[in-house]
Amino acid sequence: MNDKPTVDEIFERRIILPDFESQSRLSFLIGLDDHKKRLTKMLSLLVNPAGLKKWSEKYHPDAGELINIVLRRPPLIVLEGDVGSGKSELAETIGDSVARQENIDITLFPMSLSTRGQGRVGEMTQLISTAFEHTVTEAKKLTDSSGNSRGAVILLVDEADALAQSRENSQMHHEDRAGVNAFIRGIDRIGNGKLPAAVIMCTNRLGALDPAIRRRAADILSFKRPNQVQRYAVLASPLKDLGFSEEEISSIVGITGNQNDREFGYTFSDLVQRLLPAIVLDAYPDQPINPSRAIEIAKQIIPTPPFQENSR
């Protein structure tokens, strides 16, 4: 491939944060409050280290060595876990929280899966290299002479195992290995340049990621299916608005968990994108929603099966 890929070929779109739609989507991620807080803090330190230095000067002025250790971590966060667990939605929207906390604009670049290319020699490597080149170029524009960030960039790589799988795999093609090398160079380039940028990678297959990439992660957040408390948090408010009793809500919460004939419960997306709409559509347009009927619908829906990695 001789022509340099365009931005539109590399990124699905570009999103400037803060953004009302992203804020709204983030607020709908109920039951992930701990992950939201942790990821917001992590990204804030990566894209705007001056904030941590100011905090240290105020509360711990003698902790310079510790602060430097914290700030030297590579600009990479990995979100891993089950399908439908909310990691991709959180990765796409968490920048809004960071932008509001740090009072800066953040540009989100979601990398397209087409970055994998068409299989031509050198294509994937060039696409990945160009993605990081663009990220670095944009980030360099956002640092002032004092090191403060006027803005930041987040590079989002969903289904990251498709681009950064382990080079230890004996069946891995040479071009895939070169692409992983380009990925590692890109992460190191952002970190070594101390740029206001971070990389978020999402994967269902943490073990498939190259070990060198996993080692570079400043943090790895694990996502699992919602437990009973989280399922209640998701379902209680909309069902109460429909007039469901506490007993009826609890019944649906229990049904959506593990069952004797099923070792896995609903995912977050099963609850929000399948169950609640199914309850509404069952009654629309001729009758009100009936709690007993909603319970039957919850029993009938088969949750998304857990991801099963094929053994090789």
177, 267: one domain: no
Query: 193, 223, 253 — which closes off a domain?
Result: 223
Q: In this predicted structure, which of 44-48, 88-92, 252-256, 288-292 has the lowest mean pLDDT?
A: 44-48
**Residues 88-139 pLDDT 10s:** 999 999 999 999 999 999 999 998 766 555 555 467 788 888 999 999 999 9
Instruction: Please determine, for residue 176, whether its predicted confidence score (pLDDT) is greater than 80.
Output: no
What total of structural domains would you count in the chain?
2
**3-state DSSP call for residue 223?**
strand
In a domain, 2, yes or no: no
In a domain, 181, yes or no: yes
Query: Which position has the token pair 């000067």?
Result: 57
141, 267: one domain: no
Alpha helices in the chain (DSSP H): 7-10, 20-27, 33-47, 50-59, 64-71, 87-102, 123-140, 174-192, 211-216, 228-241, 246-255, 268-269, 276-283, 291-300
Instruction: Please determine, for residue 1, whether its predicted confidence score (pLDDT) is greater than 50.
Output: no
In a domain, 259, yes or no: yes
pTM of the model: 0.88
60, 176: one domain: yes
Range of the domain at 256: 228-300
Task: Give how far the C-alpha of residue 233 lies from the chain's centroid of Cα atoms, to the nearest Å.
Answer: 21
144, 266: one domain: no
